[in-house]
Amino acid sequence: MPTLIDQLKAIVGAGGWKTDPTELQPHLTEWRGLVFGATPILVAPKSSKEVSEVVRACAAAGVAIVPQGGNTGLCAGAVPDESGEQVLLSMARMNRIRDLDASNYSMEVEAGCVLADIQRAASAADRYFPLSLGAEGSCQIGGNLATNAGGVNVIRYGTARALVLGLEVVLADGTVLDGLRSLRKDTAGYDLKQLFVGSEGTLGIMTAATLRLFPDPGETATALLALDGSVDAVLLLAKLRASLADRIEAFELVAKRIFDLVEAHIPGAKLPFDEAYPWYVLIETATGGDPELLENALSNAADESLILDAVIAKNATEADNLWRLRHSIAEAERHAGVGLKHDISVPIGRMQEFLIRGEARLAQLMPEAKLLVFGHVGDGNLHYNVALPRTMTPDALQAAGSRITEAIYDLVAEMGGSFSAEHGVGRSKRSYLEKYRGGPEIDLMRRLKKALDPQNILNPGKVI
């Protein structure tokens, strides 16, 4: 290890590494502050060539590497284990936007670019990069692609997977795979880039990506709607989709209990209604030049008493304030110490059934437990979180927590859904991958892992 550390320092040069425990500490704690790791060194290469040299040196020494982006992932995938024997590879210094081709609607960026910087660069060129999530000010595009992040605009633009045209990846032996093409159509062989998207640093280290850009959607309209039941949100979306078609940019469901947490823990956060309602939907649409479009669509739906109340943002500041409420949820939950988190998906057509059966199953298992639900209804993806009574002992909490989580995941599986819709597997959900994707599926995953990383040095102990 000491020889390797000297080699790594020489590769990345002064300013490219950290060994001071105080400086390392934030990189060794996952976002929720529940999982901790150890490392002898953090290296932050500045180029793909340096990443390749770091990987080669680690491979020769048989030492594992944990890639880290903004460390905002929610499954503890970006922190090393407790052994103190894994090298932490930060992508933070690879943060250049290499090229933006407005006519090709594409841009080439290094993996360490912060998502918000990419959105701004696209916007400055009168183009649009639609990936958007609460952590966008600190997460990196490499992390977004490695977790196949979703966020609030999937309903119209798809997940991170749909937004990548090409990738540059450093393989486990240090080979640089240059797949930075910017083609919309390419049927030459297997689509290798998609193998790395969603692989959470276990198959290769992404160093750069060519991203798909879109025309600026132009004027948008944003509204916060109050509803009586979560099922109404599913019915409302089906109705609005028929009239607004693909103009719906976001359709986010939030339970009252969740917004209560936001108001309690986020300074200045305040819902724009005088009274409280059980459920809310934040909707954003492209107006397509018709400023009345959303209002008219909502009036039609209100006629059928699906909407109890609504606030339509009058300007960009009001829209930003509504979005701030939505984007503060994860932070508010962190402050509140929300108990069980489940990031599940079911086929959109079965959302209604899931909401009804899920609530009934929880009430049967533990009537005192409280559902804290929000999510992306249009994607069939809910953050189906559960708060357990604070009076329970830690042992009882753990036992009840496992039972509830299994019951929810079993229901999801029964309905053809997934126990991980957009946060990945990381370290926290490995056993569930084994349980719900066992048999030939996980077997093939293991064969791929072995073929691409025979020494098991890329983020071992994560995913599979």
- Interface ranges with ligand FAD (CB under 6 A): 31, 66-74, 77-78, 91, 111, 133-135, 139-140, 142-144, 146-147, 149-151, 200-201, 205-206, 330-331, 422-423, 426, 459, 462
Separation of alpha carbons 100 and 375, rounded Å: 32
Supply the minimum distance, in Å, between the C-beta of residue 291 and ligand FAD.
28
Element (H, E) at 364: helix 351-365
Residues near 258 by beta carbon (within 8 Å), at least 6 away in sequence: 329, 332, 333, 372, 373, 374
The nearest distance, CB 422 to ligand FAD, in angstroms, is: 3
CB of 250 to ligand FAD, least distance (A): 11
Residue matched to tokens 């600026």: 216
Least Å distance, CB 163 to ligand FAD, is: 12
Identity of the residue, 154 or 369, whose beta carbon is nearer to ligand FAD in the bound complex? 154
Q: DSSP letter string over 124-179?
A: HTTEE-----TTTTT-BHHHHHHTT---TTHHHH--GGGGEEEEEEE-TTS-EEEE
- Pair type for strands 42-43 and 87-90: parallel
- Taking residue 361's Cβ as centre, other Cβ atoms within 10 Å add up to 14
* Measured distance CA(449)–CA(76) in Å, rounded: 19
Q: Is the dihedral of CA 389, 391, 394, 397 positive or negative?
A: negative
CB of 370 to ligand FAD, least distance (A): 21
Nearer to ligand FAD, 168 or 232 (CB): 168
Residue number, 35 or 237, with CB nearest to ligand FAD: 35
For residue 6, which amino acid is it? D
Q: CA 426 from chain center: how many Å?
A: 12
Nearer to ligand FAD, 285 or 345 (CB): 345
* CA gap 204, 206 in Å, rounded: 6
- The least CB distance from residue 360 to ligand FAD, in Å, is 27
Shortest Cβ contact with ligand FAD: which residue? 143
Nearer to ligand FAD, 200 or 232 (CB): 200
Which residue, 57 or 400, is less far from ligand FAD as judged by CB? 57
Nearer to ligand FAD, 167 or 301 (CB): 167
Rounded to whole angstroms, the Cα distance separating 228 from 226 reads: 7
Q: How far is the CB of 394 from ligand FAD (least distance, A)?
A: 25
